Structures are given as structure tokens and as C-alpha cells.
Structure 1
Amino acid sequence: MKRRVAIVGCSLRIPGTSANSFWQDLLENKDLVTEVDSDRWGKDSFLHPDKRHLGSSYTFAAGSLGDVSGFDAAFFGLSPREVTHMDPQQRLLLEMSWEAMESAGIPPSSMRGSQCGVFIGIASVDYAYRYSDDMSAIDANTGTGTASSIAANRISYLFDLHGPSMSMDTACSSSLVAFHQACRAIVSGEIDMALTGGISLHLHPFGFMVFSKATMLSKAGRCQAFDEAGDGYVRSEGGGVFLLKEYEAALADGDPIIAVVAGTAANADGNKSGLTIPNPAAQIALMQKAYQEAGIRPDQITYLEAHGTGTSVGDPIETSAIGEALGKSRAQPLPIGSVKSNVGHLETASGVAGLAKALYSIHHRIVPATISVKNANPKILFDEWNIEVVTENRALSKTDPIVIGINSFGFGGANAHVILTSPEFDASEPSVDVEAADAECDTPLPLMLSARSDAALSAMTRQWADHLLETPDSLYDLAWTAAFRREKHSKALLVLASSKAEAAQKLTQFNDDASTQSVFTGECLANAQGPVFVYSGNGCQWETMGKHLLNESAVFRLAVEEVNQHFQTYADFSIVEELQGLNGSGRFVKTEVAQLPCLPFRLG
């Protein structure tokens, strides 16, 4: 049977928003595009409305992540000096790789020594351009800090991952081509797990100048996908990392399966009318191959997330290819859209944005609107090609399987397509009854949190206090995950609570006053091992406790008999006989009898 791939974890950096608010922003049809962050460079020095003007760009409209300078070097065991020479793209990839593993409930330390692969889409060398502007700043760490190959290799190095490790540049399709290669490595049996994704940051004006001179950038500063006003694309930054795992292994390990990869495909345009002109025949062949290999009929496709950049040439070619490959073979028009209308074009990481929208759509069973269509592009023959743009949020079936395709095309002709399907169980519904999850437990449960520093622990408790009040998950599930599926760090905290509300209250009290008696803090022991003896007080005993062990375990019986020998000096009955129930019934109501067998029972 062909191996399948599950997406079990992910981490995102989306311009103009956060990973937590991205979905809500899509549902609210928000435009998240602004301008290049003011701290990157002096925009006024390089901005000119005439594209023929030397050394300038006619736009700096962009989707921006804002300040990307912050990084916790110590957390990853790196020196501040080395980090200053590391491209912020490398730094963000390290953060997102950690977060992707933790989001899957897999402690990163448990991955050490594994055959996990790393496949990263990356193209920008803006950080290297900054050093070319000031060569006196170059030192021994600049080479590894600015090399694209190290973006993947550093992840493998720091997390001790031994599978294939590669960075790839196919321009705007880089992250989806990387995703395809990761899936193929898992399907072939070469590896069982992979970290894959992409990154793109604006750290130098060079990219804006290059694409401005080629008239690729929108003078309106927006990706007006499928609209007659489409005049180019807007550059955006962002990224994401996905943790992929062989499907059966993910099921066996109890990992959260966000979506299943039904198929992937990649090809190239070959020779055509121009290097950067899309080839519709290649796009048609790509999509047909992907769905034929996946065994999915065009009528089974729920939605297709198009490349949809908003260019006057690219949009009509892509939509015609979608119609020819899929739309015309359907009874109903194929719904399509483009997240670039919300966030802009993340270039090498654009596939990440498309995948993220698809994953949220599968989980919530809603396709958000494409917000750019005011007047449909007359060159797109929607009726003839049997396609339609989703211009309003569209609810999907609550029970039917969901199939979503994602297109991603590079400007040099490297193309990729990914097909995602909903998990075989209904992941859109909470796994627990919300009222039951909010109910109090019979006994307090231990919620254990840990971090690398006191400041980080304080920040984590604030996040957990909010999360406890918002999540539908039960306190038991949350406490179990925190204890067994999270990394253990040096600074630890323990709170005992019978409900999520009580746990949140105690964590909030701790943030207000770290000396509160309701929360316990301490240092985690590294590589703790060996026996731990815990003796409870009176009240836990029951008649004939240990009877089975006395009969079945020689070690247990010897220990009890040894204590009994000492005990006989002070009492007129045998503990061995007491545990066997040979001294009569109802004797444990007497304190002088009930407490005495507890010690030998625990020692045994």
C-alpha cells in the first residue's frame, strides 16, 4: 500500500497579523498589506515614481512582519556574536521549527538522532547585500550566517536531525516545491518525518528595485487577483514550517493530524515564449497528473487555492489552465481564490500562505473570501472554463470529505501543486464535550510548565492563563500534554487545580505575586533517574491489599516478611497474615491495625 503523509504540526509568520489572529482576519476579509517597515532602510532615498530612474523602486508597498531583529540566542545555544551575523531568515526558521514540533506535541529533544529530513524554500540573500554595503563588518560567521544552504543545515545541526537537509530556490514556488520533495521522501520510505516550509524577508531594497524595473510590482500596491485592475503584485514577507509524518506512524503515536496530503506534483514550463511567461500547457499537465495520481476526480475537489498574484498576464493563463485541467470536467463550477488578496505575495514563502489558508479552511470548514475582485478580469472566461472566485466566506459541508488544491508557480517556470484532504475523523469538532471539559475534576490535577528563564516562565504563565479560559480542551488533556508532550526546561512551575478556571486564576496570581503559595516553582533536574519513594499518610489502605503480590512476587513477600520479623517484637499479630486477610474482617477500622501494614506494603 502506498505510504501517505500527515501534517501534524505547523508554525507561521504572517504579515500584518499573528498566527493566532490570521484566521479571524481572513474571515473578516481584512487587507493586511501596508509598507516596508520603517526600520529596514531609508525608503525616501530609493523611492521614485518613474521606473527608469536609476537605483530606485516606484513602490514600497508590502506585507510586513515589522521588527524581526529580536532573537533568543541562548535558547538555541548560540552566541550573540554569531547571531548578529545570522540572516534573520535563519533565526525565524529555527523558531518556527521548534514551534512546529511543539505544536505537534513532540518534544524537540525526542527528535535528536532521528532521520527527520529538512526541506526549506529560501531565495532572498538581502542580508548578504547589507554586508556588501559595509564589507568591514564581515567576519568568520558571515559566510554561514548568510548562505542559503545553511538555512536548512542549521536546523538539522541544532536539532541533531540526520535525514536529508536542503535549501531550494525555485523563486515563488520554493516552499511548495520543498513541501513536495519532503512528501516524496516520506512516501518513498527514505524518511518517516520532515520539517518543511519557507521564508522571505525584506532586508535590502535590491529586490524592490529589480522587480520594479521589470514592471512586475503593482503600482496600486495590492495583489488584485482576478480583477480587471490587476497590474502586478505586492511583495510581502513571512514564512512557516510544517512537520510532516508518515500517516500510519502518526496514527500509532497519537499525533494530532491537521490534514492528510493526498498528493503532490512538480514540473517545469520548458521552452516557451519568454522565460518569465507562464506556460498553460505545463500547468494543465501538472494539475492533471497530481489528481490522477491521487485518484481524485475533478468533481471531488472542494476548493482550489490559486497562485493568483494579480498580474495581467499570469491570472488569465492560470485560470485557463485550471479550467482546462479541472473545471471543464466538473458538473458545478470549481471554486477558486487567492490569499494574496489579503496578505500580498510572500514570494518564496507564498506556498506557506496558501497551505495555511487551506489548513484553516479544512479545520473550520469555511473558505474565506478573496477580497480583490471588484470587477472581474474580462480575460478570464469564468463560465466557459467552469470556475468561480469565492468572493464571500463560504461554509463547507459539515460531514463530507474536504479536498483542497494549492498552486504555486515560480517566475522561471518551476511549478508545484499540493492536494490536502480532511482527516478521516472530523477534526473540525472539539474532541471533548465543552461543558464536561469546563467541569471540575474530582481531585486536583498537576499542571506543570517549564521555560529556560524566569522571564520566559512568567510569559508562559500569562499565555497559559489566557489559553485555559479559551480552549475547549479539558484540564486533564491539557495537564497530560504539558507533562508528557512538552520539552522540559530548567525553570519549572507546578499548579494544582480542579478546573481550568482555578488553574488560570492561580497562574494569574503568580504573575501578580511570584511568592503566592498557590503555585510551586523550582529547578528541573536534568536526566533525572533512579527510584523515587513516596509514602502517603493514613487513609489509602484497604483490607487484603497486597494479597496477590504476596502470592505472586517473591521479592515483595521477602520484603514484607523482613519488616514483619522486626514488627513481631512489638505486636501480637502478623502483618503478613493481616495483608492476607487471615486475622479476620473489619479490622482496618481500628487505627492501631490500619496504619501498621502501610509501611511494609510500600517497601515491598
Structure 2
Amino acid sequence: MTDSDEKLVSALRLSLKENERLRVQNAKLSGATREPVAIVAMSCRYPGDVTSPEELWQLVADGVDAVSDFPADRGWDIDGGYDPEPGKAGKFYAREGGFLHDGGEFDPAPFGISPVEALHMDPQQRLLLECSWEVLERAGIDPMSLKGATTGVFTGAMHHDYALGHHVSTTSGGSLLSGGVSYTLGLEGPSVTIDTACSSSLAAVHLACQALRREECGLALAGGVTVMATPQLFKVFSQQRGLSPDGRCKSFSDAADGTGWGEGAGMLLLERLSDARRNGHPVLAVIRGSAVNQDGRSSGQTAPNGPAQQRLIRQALANAGLSAADVDAVEAHGTGTTLGDPIEAQALLATYGRGREGHHPLLLGSIKSNIGHTQAAAGVAGVIKMVMAMRQGTLPRTLHLDAPSAQVDWSAGAVELLTEPVAWPETGHLRRAGVSAFGASGTNVHVILEQSPPGEEPESPGPEWSGAVPWVLSGRTPEALRAQAARLLATVSGNDGPAPADIGLSLVTGRTRFEHRAAVVGRDREEFVQGLAALATGTPATRVVTGAAREAPRVVFVFPGQGTQWTGMATELLESNTVFQQTMLACENALSKVVDWSLPAVLDDQDALDRVDVVQPALWAVMVSLAAVWRSCGVEPAAVVGHSQGEIAAACVAGALSLEDGARVVALRSRIIAEVLAGQGRMMSIPEPLEQVERRLAGSESEPESESVGGFADAVSIAAVNGPSSVVVSGEAGAVEKLHTALVAEGVRARLIEVDYASHSGQVEQIADRLAEALAPIRPRPADIPFYSTVDDGWQDTEGLDAGYWYRNLRQPVRFEPAVRALLDKGFRGFVEISSHPVLTVGVQESIDRAEVRAVATGSLRRDEGGWDRMVLSLATAHMGGVAVDWSAVFADTGARRVDLPTYAFQRQRYWLDSEIGVGDPVSLGLGVVG
């Protein structure tokens, strides 16, 4: 082969490789443009007091006619404006429609909106905010967790007349409907308000799908809203005789006599199907394809165009990669007009009605017969209805359809009107439906929906978790919190329903945490029902904690000294919590080099715990391990502080001492105490201020005629200052016991501490040299977490935590109360006592109260409550004070899964500018004739 031949072959090979690369890239791009879009969640407000997709489904399934009288609270001159004679300017001959009678109500608090701003805000924006919030919660997403995310907002709207004639700043206007949602939730994806008249919301869905497929956003909120601030639209269509006299849409009926206006709001949460699967989000249905086109130059700008509708349907089918026979039903535009309905029916007959088997006709209906023509919210209403119908396996009937329209040749194709409810046909393929919406301006939209793919339904639950779990609730106000508890109580009452762990996980991962908080901790449904009932009525209960938090505080881990022990302490947690088990094992390994006993064994051995050289190392291990549990639940200390021997655990948790060095300090020091100091002294707690105790010891507290208390300064000294009114003294055993007798005689609730040595007294000087020798090998290091010393009264350079420091830690008074006061002064507002029983929390709380600041103080375990139940209650107590808890970690080993729960309990009040304002002419908006 010549050189030229080899070059030619090489070039051909490169060309073939490049062609293959381009083929793969094109296939990938083509697939992306056609990737199904998952409908992850839905929310809505529609006539008939509908506030959820489930309620909307119940309305259509029951065949409810939701048309009602004009609202009487919007300042409309209903009596003066009504005239039964059509065609009169400024009058309306219908006085019924599909209204949101609570359309003026709103709860601004969750959105951080003031009442004044809410009053001037377009009620359509208020509804969009509520529906956006709810649709995210229904997807299991905390609405405020998307701040900064590229989530898009696509809303359809066509009325902007609420605040005309009033001062308006940024609270009204079309662009602000979508922009307001993005701003409030902090969303940074595309944000667009679409006005294509009655096809607006379906156009919004189409554009959202395109943006998702182009990866312009990861999630998309898509829907529409209509609230009529004035009756102007009724006046215009009455003048043009396009309004149904009874306000009802008689879709495809021979009795059709005009449209009937309605109001509503609907919102979908959309996500690429592949992303929804990867993220574990629910998939209610998928959007297989969609198309948008224009009537172009037809018989009139607002007149429907049949050929354009046919082209639209074929484009949508092509986009979905389907044939007409693959679609089972269509939710029609179906406004009930004598012009629009026959044109739409003929287009459906010419597309979906052709080439179908006779036993599988296209089934046709319209939700407008139930709720009226909700205009910019109409298309999304049809989507919600059809998704629910797919999931229920039933197609509901269309109301007011006594006889099919005689203006349509129904024999031209296989299309059947839904005059009665029917089971969704069994066709051998996934259920599919089309949804149409046509705007009076000529913009037409058709969307093709498909049943959730196999495997998208939730898996059957596994074995139910039998341990304690929290149900964490919150509200922007105390009333909202109680209402939230009542809503959840109504859902879970009874024996059926999701497992407690499933509910708990769903609450902590899919709800925003507001200021007013509560948690119910339990194991079985009855415990939760009782707790929710108490919470809903404001009644205290043992396993319910409540609180109010503003911002996440900086947290201090507080490590107490000896005195928190009890027989069996933490043994339940040792059996049930992996993090605690692993950390205790690490502590046991460290201790094994300096002790000859088993750590797990001594926890349940009272005789062993009576020995100082056992109880102090055991408490050290429990405290270090409890700190690991708190940190595994997302609670990270911003500082540590220790009391007496608690400083050893604090230094280990801060990273200033290795576990091996910590074990050496606590084990060898306590052994020396047992060998030298045991039997020489006593300690006692006195519930009085430091100054008063000092006067007692000096003798200045005694009355002249009484020598019962006083003159102990030589034998008894201040050992610790635990709180503003909590002091510990130590010294010679006889002197301490005599002081105790005298104080009790005076009525002082002094308490002898169960130790037989006197820490923090002159007796400790006997062991100074032995401690220096035993602890010389330790190697302190810079801490990862700031260490506040109760020995030196300030931030400690932890490289100085040498043998000399640990001697002074035992000899000098514990300045705990000044340390807490200093930490409060520096802005710390969360105090977590890391112990098997709280002994410092009361003193900390007393310091908090005296400082007159908002802060939280909580323990970990309690005497005879050494298991996960108490730990969860302690986590909940911290959370009540604003401490950030990673609740998902709490549920990590429970096998819990996400379930549907009630959405936020909005506390609505009426916000409405009462005067009838705005005289906008819908004709100028292309609404002269109903399509």
C-alpha cells in the first residue's frame, strides 16, 4: 500500500469515527429534547371550595356543579349591574359563575409579607404563593430549601385589574406574579408570566417542559391563576351575547349557550423524569409531549381555527413519538360556545378520531362543565383532573350534556362523549390523555400526558421501626402551629395510615422550620395521637416539647464533673445507637492501656461506680460518646466548656487531647485520688449565691447569739460556682458534715455529694508531684473547637493543657458560672449538657434568665432514661431553641420513606381593596369573542 493509500485509509477511519461521534451526540440531543417530564406534585384552588387535587377529583367524580352566585364581598354592584336582557352596555345577564369565594383571603406571615403589603398585593399572586408552597411540600421538598436553586417559575395570567386606581409599587402586575414567587422562595431559574388568554397555564406548562429539557432549570413550577377583581368581563361578554345565562359551560352539548366564567389557581411541579427518579421524587404522571401554535390569519382574530387545531394535535403527537391511537382520552377546551365547541370537536374527530378501532374510541370530556371556564387557570385544571383520573382508573362524566351538539358530525370519527363515568379502557399500553387549551388571541396548546411508568409507584413498606421517633412541626405563629397539629391529627387518627417513622421523616425533610416549633416523641400511633391532641389544644404533655426560635444559635457543649452517674447509665443507648457504640469502643480501647476493667461491664455495676477510679473514666467515656451522638445528628459545637473532670472530655471533643491522652489523664488522676485522698474529705452543694456562702464560711453570716454557722474558712473552701445561686464547697469531712447540719437546721436545702474526697481544696496539694509525673507523657495540641477554661477563666490555648493544667483543674475552684456568663456575653445561645444526667442545666438556665436573653439549655440523658427515647427528646428540646438538628440523620437507620402529609395550615384573613375599581376593556386584550 502506497503512502497516499495509507493516508486515505487513515482519513476515512477518522471520518467514520467523527460520524459516529456526531451520530451519538445527535441521538443524545434528540433524546434530551423528547425526554418525558415528570409531574412530581400538584396543588390547586378551584370553585366548590376545592383546595387540593384530591378535592378536585372528588368534585368531578361526584359530578358536582360548583357554579354559584357572584361574590358579595368584592364591592361589585350586583343588583345594579344585572339585566336579564342580553346586549346592554355595562350590564350582565348572568349572575352566577365558578368563583373562589375565599379568593381575597391570605396568610402573609409564612412568606414574610406585611399585612399592608398583602392588602395591595394582587390576590392572584397570593394564590400562586400558596399553591407554589403547597406543591413543593406535596413533593416532599422544604420550600425554603430551594433558595439559590435554578428552579423555574412559569405562570399563566390574564387579569391585572385588582389594584388599578390604587397606589401600587411592586405588589401587582403580570411579571410580578412569577417574579414574586421566585423572589419569595429565592429561586434563580427562569421566571416568566405568560398571557395567551385562556391557554396561558397550558402554555406555561409547555414552556416549562422546554426549559427543563434544555437544562435551563432543574425543577419548574408551572401553572396559572385567575381571580376577577371586577365584573367587567361579564359585562363585555353579556354585551356580545357570548355568556351562558346560567353561568354554566355546557361542553359539546346541544344545549350549549355560551361560556361561564370561573376562577382558580393550579400549580404543577415538573422535573426531568431521569432526575425525578434519581432524586427519589414522586412521579404522578409524565408529560410525553406538547405543542404550541397560532391560528394565524383566520376568519377573525379571536375566532377558533379548526385546521390550526388539527396541526397542533399532530405536532404534539410527533413531539411525544406517539400515534393518535396511542391516546385514550382528551380533556377538551370545551367552553360551551356554539362557535368554539363544534370547531374543536371536528378537529378532534379529524385527528384522534381517525384510524381507531371501533371498540376503542377517543373519550372526550371537559372539567369546565363542573367549575366553569377558569380562564388562565383552565388548562392546568384539565391536567390535574386527567392525572387524577389516570391514577384512579376512572374517567368522570361531563355535566349538562343531555344531547351531543347537533352542529358536529359525530359519525366522522371514533370519538365518544363522557356522558357517564367510565373505567379507563384497558388497551395494553400505559394510560394516555391529551389536554387542550385555546386562547382567544389565537394561541393554541396541546399537552399529552402518560401514566407513571412501571416501578414509579412507592414500594411496599418494610418492617416497621419500633424505636422512638420525633414528629417535628412548626408554624409562623402559635395559632398556625396548633392548627398544623390538628391537621396532622385528623390525618393519622385511626389504625390505618403510614408508619410513625415515615411520617416523622416526611415532616423533617419536607417542611420549612418556622419560629414556633413543637415535637411529639413516641413509638406507636397512640402516643402520637395523644401528643398531637395535646398540642392542638395547647395542653402540656410529657412527650411533647414546644418552643420559639429565631435564628440558629451558636452551641456550647457543656461537660459536667462527677455526680451524673447512675447504675445502668447509657446502657440502652449502647445497645441501640451505632455511633455511641463505636465511640464507646474507641474509648474502651484507649482506657484498656491504663485500667484493668471492662467499660461496658461497669456501667451496670453499682459497686464499681462507687469507686472514684472507675466512675470518672466511665463518665469520661460516656460524655465523649454522647458528644459524638449529638454531632452525628448535625449539632456541632462552636465552643466547649467543662466542669472539673468534665474538662478532660471537653478537651478530647475539642481535639486538644487524643483519646489515649484523655484516658491517661482521667484514669491515672482518679487512681491517685483513690490511693491518696479517699476518706479524707467531703463535698456539699449549697443553693445560695457565692457571696453569701463566702460570708458563711468566714463567719459573717452568723447571728450574734448563734454560732451554728460560721468560722469554717480554714477547713472548708469554695470548690465550684455552678450558677448564680449554686455553689459547691469541699474540705475536711468533719467540717463539711458539721456545716451541712447547721445549714439544714436553718432550712437551707444543702446536699452532701456522695464522694469521700475533697476536690478543689487544699487537700489536693498532697498529690501534685505524683500527678506531674503520671501525666508528663501527654501531648496536648491546638483545638479544632474553641475551649473555654473554667480554671483560667477564659479562652484557653490548648497546647497548654499539660500535666500542670490538669493539677490546677483539680486544685482550683471551678469558675463555671462566670464561664457561662462570659459565653452568653459573647453571643452563645445554645447550651447542651453532655452527660448521663443533667446537673448543670439548671444553673445554666438561671444564668440565662439573669442575663435576660433568649437561649436554650438542655441535657442529653436522664437518670433511668438512658436510651434513644430520651436522646430524641433532648434533640427536640434543642431544636425548639433554634439549634440546627440534622433530622434526616436521626431517621437514617429506621428504614423510613417519604409519605404524603397535610400541607401548611395557612391562617388566612381577608385582604381586599373594597371599592370596585378598574374599567379595563377585555376587547382590547383580544377577548371579544370566546374561543
Q: Same fold (TM over 0.5)?
A: yes
Displacement, 1:168? 1.2
2:191 is matched with: 165
Name stretches of at least 5 consecutive residues in structure 2 with no aligned partner.
1-30, 626-931
Which of 478, 484, 487 pairs up with 1:460? Answer: 484
| Kept in 2: contact 1:199–1:348 (CA 8 A) | yes
Q: How does 1:69-88 map to 2 (within 5 A)?
A: 69-88=104-123
Q: Hey, what's the Cα distance between the residues in 2 that align with 1:531 and 1:432?
A: 42
| Kept in 1: contact 2:83–2:92 (CA 8 A) | yes
1:10 is matched with: 42
> Which amino acid counterpart does residue 334 of structure 1 have in structure 2?
L
Q: How does 1:19-98 map to 2 (within 5 A)?
A: 19=52, 20-40=54-74, 41-98=76-133
SS of 1:24's equivalent in the other structure is helix
TM-score, with length taken from structure 2: 0.58
Within the alignment, does 1:451 sit opposite 2:475 as a pair? Answer: yes
2:438 is matched with: 409
Within the alignment, does 1:477 sit opposite 2:502 as a pair? Answer: yes
SS of 1:8's equivalent in the other structure is strand
> Which amino acid counterpart does residue 537 of structure 1 have in structure 2?
A
Q: Hey, what's the Cα distance between the residues in 2 that align with 1:426 and 1:210?
A: 51
Displacement, 1:226? 1.1
Q: Hey, what's the Cα distance between the residues in 1 that align with 2:468 and 2:573?
A: 17
> Which amino acid counterpart does residue 292 of structure 1 have in structure 2?
A
| Kept in 2: contact 1:226–1:315 (CA 8 A) | yes
Displacement, 1:422? 1.4
Displacement, 1:30? 0.9
1:376 is matched with: 404
Q: Give the superposed CA RMSD.
A: 3.0
Which of 361, 368, 386 pairs up with 2:389? Answer: 361
| Kept in 1: contact 2:38–2:270 (CA 8 A) | yes
Q: Which shifted more, 31-40 or 398-407? A: 398-407
| Kept in 1: contact 2:223–2:265 (CA 8 A) | yes
Displacement, 1:119? 0.9
Q: Hey, what's the Cα distance between the residues in 2 that align with 1:540 and 1:202?
A: 60
Q: Hey, what's the Cα distance between the residues in 2 that align with 1:347 and 1:532?
A: 58
| Kept in 1: contact 2:328–2:361 (CA 8 A) | no
Within the alignment, does 1:101 sit opposite 2:136 as a pair? Answer: yes
Q: Hey, what's the Cα distance between the residues in 2 that align with 1:128 and 1:465?
A: 39
Q: Hey, what's the Cα distance between the residues in 2 that align with 1:546 and 1:457?
A: 33
Q: How does 1:217-256 map to 2 (within 5 A)?
A: 217-256=243-282
Displacement, 1:5? 1.5
2:880 is matched with: none
1:350 is matched with: 378
Q: Hey, what's the Cα distance between the residues in 1 that align with 2:49 and 2:487?
A: 18
Within the alignment, does 1:333 sit opposite 2:361 as a pair? Answer: yes
1:488 is matched with: 513
The share of aligned pairs that are identical, in percent, is 33
Question: Relative to structure 1, is the Cα distance of residues 325 and 210 closer, same or farther in structure 2, using a 3 angstrom cutoff?
Answer: same
Displacement, 1:50? 2.2
Q: Hey, what's the Cα distance between the residues in 2 that align with 1:256 and 1:231?
A: 41
* 1:465-503 superposed Cα distances (whole Å, 9 cap, x missing partner): 011137732222111110122111111111123333442
Q: How does 1:92-171 map to 2 (within 5 A)?
A: 92-129=127-164, 131=165, 138-139=166-167, 142-171=168-197
> Which amino acid counterpart does residue 29 of structure 1 have in structure 2?
G
* 1:334-358 superposed Cα distances (whole Å, 9 cap, x missing partner): 1110001111100111012101101
Question: Relative to structure 1, is the Cα distance of residues 546 and 335 closer, same or farther in structure 2, using a 3 angstrom cutoff?
Answer: closer
Displacement, 1:598? 6.9
1:422 is matched with: 451
Question: Relative to structure 1, is the Cα distance of residues 533 and 494 closer, same or farther in structure 2, using a 3 angstrom cutoff?
Answer: farther
> Which amino acid counterpart does residue 335 of structure 2 have in structure 1?
T
Q: Which shifted more, 264-273 or 247-256? A: 247-256
Q: Hey, what's the Cα distance between the residues in 2 that align with 1:396 and 1:531?
A: 61
* 1:148-195 superposed Cα distances (whole Å, 9 cap, x missing partner): 111111111111111111111101000000111111011112211111
Q: Hey, what's the Cα distance between the residues in 2 that align with 1:117 and 1:349?
A: 18
Q: Hey, what's the Cα distance between the residues in 2 that align with 1:25 and 1:548?
A: 54
Question: Relative to structure 1, is the Cα distance of residues 217 and 161 closer, same or farther in structure 2, using a 3 angstrom cutoff?
Answer: same
| Kept in 2: contact 1:303–1:334 (CA 8 A) | yes
| Kept in 1: contact 2:152–2:188 (CA 8 A) | yes
TM-score, with length taken from structure 1: 0.88
Q: Hey, what's the Cα distance between the residues in 2 that align with 1:83 and 1:95?
A: 13
1:135 is matched with: none
Displacement, 1:118? 1.1
| Kept in 2: contact 1:119–1:165 (CA 8 A) | yes
2:919 is matched with: none
Q: Which shifted more, 104-113 or 505-514? A: 505-514
Q: Hey, what's the Cα distance between the residues in 1 that align with 2:145 and 2:97?
A: 39
| Kept in 2: contact 1:431–1:473 (CA 8 A) | no
Q: Which shifted more, 11-20 or 533-542? A: 533-542
| Kept in 2: contact 1:560–1:600 (CA 8 A) | no
SS of 2:333's equivalent in the other structure is coil
SS of 2:467's equivalent in the other structure is coil
SS of 1:492's equivalent in the other structure is strand
SS of 1:126's equivalent in the other structure is coil
2:895 is matched with: none
| Kept in 2: contact 1:430–1:473 (CA 8 A) | no
SS of 2:297's equivalent in the other structure is coil
Which of 348, 359, 368 pairs up with 1:322? Answer: 348
| Kept in 2: contact 1:432–1:474 (CA 8 A) | no
> Which amino acid counterpart does residue 67 of structure 2 have in structure 1?
V
Q: Hey, what's the Cα distance between the residues in 1 that align with 2:572 and 2:187?
A: 50
| Kept in 2: contact 1:430–1:472 (CA 8 A) | no
SS of 1:221's equivalent in the other structure is coil
Question: Relative to structure 1, is the Cα distance of residues 194 and 591 closer, same or farther in structure 2, using a 3 angstrom cutoff?
Answer: same
Q: Hey, what's the Cα distance between the residues in 1 that align with 2:604 and 2:113?
A: 62
Q: Which shifted more, 279-288 or 255-264? A: 255-264
Displacement, 1:247? 1.7
1:512 is matched with: 537
Q: Hey, what's the Cα distance between the residues in 2 that align with 1:406 and 1:48?
A: 36
Displacement, 1:560? 6.1
Q: Which shifted more, 101-110 or 458-467? A: 101-110
Q: Hey, what's the Cα distance between the residues in 2 that align with 1:271 and 1:541?
A: 78
Q: Which shifted more, 228-237 or 392-401? A: 392-401
| Kept in 1: contact 2:141–2:509 (CA 8 A) | no
SS of 2:370's equivalent in the other structure is helix
| Kept in 1: contact 2:353–2:412 (CA 8 A) | no
| Kept in 1: contact 2:253–2:402 (CA 8 A) | yes
Displacement, 1:519? 2.0
> Which amino acid counterpart does residue 353 of structure 2 have in structure 1?
G
Question: Relative to structure 1, is the Cα distance of residues 249 and 533 closer, same or farther in structure 2, using a 3 angstrom cutoff?
Answer: farther
| Kept in 1: contact 2:519–2:545 (CA 8 A) | yes
1:574 is matched with: 596
Which of 275, 287, 310 pairs up with 1:284? Answer: 310
Q: Which shifted more, 402-411 or 207-216? A: 207-216
Displacement, 1:462? 0.7
SS of 1:407's equivalent in the other structure is strand
Question: Relative to structure 1, is the Cα distance of residues 74 and 540 closer, same or farther in structure 2, using a 3 angstrom cutoff?
Answer: closer
Q: Hey, what's the Cα distance between the residues in 1 that align with 2:286 and 2:556?
A: 42
Q: Which shifted more, 512-521 or 333-342? A: 512-521
1:500 is matched with: 525
Question: Relative to structure 1, is the Cα distance of residues 163 and 542 closer, same or farther in structure 2, using a 3 angstrom cutoff?
Answer: closer
Structure (1 or 2) with the larger CA radius of gyration? 2
